[in-house]
Amino acid sequence: MAFATERTNYIQLFADFLSIITISICFILKVPQILKLLQMKTARGINLIGLLMELTSYTIMMSYNYRSGYSLLSYLEYPIIWIQELILIFLVLKYKNYLNFYALFGSGVYFSIAGGLILGVVPKGLLAFLVPLCTPIGASSKVVQLVEILKTGNAQSVSILTWFISAFTNFTRVFTITVESADLTLLLNFIINTFLSTSVMVAAIFYKDPPSKLESLKKQQ
């Protein structure tokens, strides 16, 4: 009995350690992508719809974890990534020339809804209904981004490091959530997102050179 208890304590300590690593890495998750956009001054290869879907998923999951009373260590990365995602969306809107009245109006609507979810204005039952939708929403956002890269054949504006960090942090969360709560909804979300983030990363590596450069390389061969 004592051995089993000690083993459980070690597993919990390791899970907490992974949580701290995950949260620490998430402080820079979107930073490489943000810096890439500032450097390239173009958002070619980045899908705005995919980013908005990601933002929706982050907002719902952050609100769900907060209002469920889960340990802050188990979801602190959400508010951290949320802030970075907002900055990223702003830059994409800027470089795609979408900063206009409609963007301002949409921002107002979004922040009103997000405030209602987090502060408890929206019933928790509705939030619980929305949580399972985060898996298809988050997965679809990555599929949309993957399709964007494959369609344009250009991933110059896409940060490979950001997608590597995304895959790694999703993978570590599979373990920590198993130890913390074993919440099947959260587990399914992280497993699927680990696979899709890895897929986007691989596509970004393959298409990191523009088509013209790839063609010249083929001719040399």
Model pLDDT for residues 9-43, shown as the tens digit of each residue: 777 777 778 777 877 887 888 999 999 999 988 88
Q: Where are the alpha helices (DSSP H) in the chain?
A: 2-26, 31-40, 48-68, 77-95, 101-119, 124-130, 134-152, 160-180, 184-206, 211-220
Where in the sequence is the domain holding 71, given as residue range(s)?
A: 2-220
pLDDT band at 160, cuts 50/70/90?
Answer: very high
d(CA 49, CA 210): 23
Please give the tally of structural domains in the chain: 1
What is this structure's pTM? 0.76
